[in-house]
Amino acid sequence: MDKYGDWFIMALAGALLLIWSYRSFYRWLHAPVNMNRITLGKGGAISDQDENVQLLERSGYEVLSAKHVVPIPVELDGAPLGTGARMYIDYVATKDELTYVVKTARDRKPMDWTASGVRDRLLVYALLLHDCSGILYVDAKEGTIRKVVFHLSD
């Protein structure tokens, strides 16, 4: 019995290893190409005098970094289009172990608080950084923080 018990345990361990290997390979095979491509660097320095940072900290958020620039190369008909485009992330903040991209309100570009207006302005950040739990829209003049979460189906 001792001999068969050892073989049974080894067979069970081998089967679990095979199942785990298959699932890992399947997940890797079906993941989008750019899934892990964008990672944010260190970012800019955080100013304690910034009213947006103060508002976030009063609301329980921890501001990790400021001003990230994400370069996006653009091609048109196979040729580079200028120096490409850039996307700006104002801050990255956390609360309850969840990470958020922070965009601040601008006077010259007010937010249209309709589903399509929010989608047009903020969806790109949710798609760009798949690890973020949402986007925080901070308006220091009004003293508001609005959390936007997009629920994308697979």
pTM here is 0.69
Q: Are 105 and 137 in contact (CB under 8 A)?
A: yes
Contact 41, 34 (CB under 8 A): no
Q: Quick check: is 123 in a domain?
A: yes
* Structural domain boundaries, residue 137: 51-148
118: part of which helix (H) or strand (E)?
Answer: helix 115-128
- What is the pLDDT, as a whole number, of residue 41? 58
The answer to whether residue 83 sits within a structural domain is: yes
Q: Do residues 80 and 13 both lie within one domain?
A: no
Residues facing 136 on adjacent strands: 102, 147
Tally of structural domains, the chain: 2
Distance CA 125, CA 67 (A): 14
Partners of 103 in the beta sheet? Answer: 137
In CATH, what number is assigned to the domain containing residue 131? 3.40.1350
pLDDT tens digits in sequence order for the chain, 154 residues long: 567 788 888 999 999 999 999 999 888 887 665 544 555 656 777 777 888 888 889 989 988 888 888 888 899 998 888 888 888 888 988 889 888 999 999 889 888 899 999 999 999 888 888 778 899 999 988 989 999 998 876 5
Same domain, 63 and 113: yes
